[in-house]
Amino acid sequence: MLTEEQQAVLAAAQGLKPGQVLKIEACAGAGKTATLVEIAKSMPTARFLYLAFNKNIVEEARQRFTPNVRIFTTHALAYAWFAYTRGYEALRDIRSALRIFDLEPLFPKASHTELYGLLSGLKSFCYSAAKEPVNKDLMIIFKAAMEGKIPLTHDIYLKAYQLYCQPKFRNYDYVLLDEGQDTNDVTMELFLDNNCRRILVGDSHQAIYAFRGAVNALSRIKADQTLHLTNSFRCSQEILDRANWFLKRYADDRTSLKKMISCAPEREIAQKHSKSFITRTNAELIRRISEIQPADAGDFELLRQPELIFATAVSLLAIKNGRKQNVHPSCKWLTRFDGICNIKDFAEDCADLELLQNIKLVEDFGSALPELFERAQKIGPGRSDNSNPFPLVLTTAHSAKGLEWDEVDLAGDFAALCDLYDVIGQQVGKRKYTIEDFEQELNLYYVAVTRARLMLHDHTYNLVEYANAGQCPYDDEVQKLEDQLEEERRMPHETVRRGKNKSAKKKSSGSRKTSPRGRGSFF
């Protein structure tokens, strides 16, 4: 049975006119896909196109939607068009990315630095809504890939679809764009460059992929009507109250924020139930793996492949040992530095938490890292010796997005939000810490909290702030975290990193102690 909010969305969708946009802000666990399914089901003669960036989301959607809905990733749609217009032969040599060596025949006199710059510019152009690049050399590369003179990439054929496929989506009445909070400009252009009835859905507070160049279409696209889904069918009210509190305190839209209400059925947690341990960084995940005894491996499971989790740490170890040829492909950019000391200076200047923690891993574990990697392979996804039907799933918050468990443990490496809020606009190392940087950390914490259905164990310093504000008991766990905090405060830091949390004092009326600086903070 649909809620009143879902019924309102259904009515609005049915009343859309060609060219209009309906925007749906859906909280964690709000059943947004189920709502889209009901929209399509209510109009069986209408033709729907459902688009999502993530292949897993698309595969799940195919199991749920009615036959009047065609379901694609944006890349799959572009691939099909490219094959139809140019033939599958043109798609034989596809790369995830071009290398500088691919460009040398086109620009034989260019230096490697100049070629790196062209690759970066090409990526930006392909993700943009621009009809042509500012740098004309980029169009030379683009056309060479289209003509088969150099390898084609997924980004290039998607951009070609945006530029050359006209008119778009003429066989559809509705276009549905899911996960609109983490998209890019080229996808937004595809969504808008047609005369269909358009429905955009997502959760602005789950935008966590800015580091990949993703943008929040929900905040950038002007809609004819905006509706909210605030009833969560996943989380208990206690868990939603925590998420509500931090969003109301720190979110950019806190003045107009809609409170999330639990519609999940009340139930006791079973003796055997699903559970996960969620970290902010891969580095913290590796530390957790180091604590697993070989005999207990069957009780744990990694969500991602160990190779991806260990890529940065193992690459840093290779650089430290003078073996740059062993660096993982995703970390080749690290080979530009003379050594690990220069990388550490760079990480501190950029306040790169993930990189700094991986450097600390290399310092702490050194030559033992390969052995930890072998241990991780025994608990990797798809392993055959799954002796426990309810293993403890180990994952980062980014990988956990879209998933849920009965019980969730949050690791202590999440940023202390009260600290980060204080330094917005300040210079940190060689860069200014921005409101966008802060929003990504707030959103990541919100995503992690709302993976829990029934039980949440928060080991971050955000728990101390929550308790100091009287939102939960100030117990031994909170006291332990605050003691660790005080020890950290006595450690020497640069001036910008020592700043007292003045705003937390002002905001936490009635709190017992000043809101703290925290583990996992950048500063």
User: Does 205 lie in the same domain as 289?
Assistant: no
Residue 44 to residues 13, 14, 41, 159, 222, Cα–Cα distance (Å)? 13, 12, 6, 32, 28
- In this structure, the answer to whether residues 143 and 289 fall within a common structural domain is no
For the chain, the domain total comes to 2
Residues 116 and 31 both lie in one domain: yes
- Structure tokens, 66: 């009615």
Same domain, 388 and 478: yes
Separation of first and last alpha carbons in the chain: 48
- Residue 518's pLDDT is 36
Model confidence over 184-210: pLDDT tens digits? 999 999 999 999 999 999 999 999 999
Is 216 found in the same domain as 96?
A: yes
Domain residue limits at 190: 1-229
Indicate if 379 and 319 belong to the same structural domain: yes
Which parts of the chain have pLDDT scores under 50? 493-523
Q: How far apart are CA 171 and CA 416, in angstroms?
A: 49
**Does a structural domain hold residue 256?**
no
Structural domain includes residue 516: no
Report yes or no on 236 lying in a domain: no
In a domain, 259, yes or no: no
140 in a domain, yes or no?
yes
**186, 294: one domain:** no
Domain boundary among 211, 229, 247: 229
Residue 237, domain member (yes or no):
no
pLDDT the model gives residue 99: 87
Same domain assignment for residues 204 and 279: no
**Mean pLDDT score of the chain, rounded to an integer?**
90
Residues 306 and 225 in one domain: no
Contact between 185 and 156 under an 8 Å Cβ cutoff? The reply is no
**Signed CA dihedral, 71, 75, 79, 82: sign only:** positive
Domain boundary among 174, 200, 229: 229
Beta bridge partners of 408: 276, 456
96 and 171 in a single domain? The answer is yes
162: tokens are: 């945006």
- pLDDT score of 492: 52
Q: Examine the domain organization and report whether 212 and 316 are in the same domain.
A: no
pLDDT recorded at residue 474: 94
Domain check: are 471 and 400 in the same one? yes
- Domain CATH code at residue 208: 3.40.50.300
**In contact, 49 and 36? CB cutoff 8 Å:** no
What is residue 199's three-state secondary structure? strand
Residues 6+ apart with CB under 8 A from 490: none
Residue 106 in any domain: the answer is yes
Residues 27 and 17: their CA atoms lie apart, in Å, by 26
Q: pLDDT value at position 320?
A: 95
Q: Answer yes or no: is 251 within a domain.
A: no
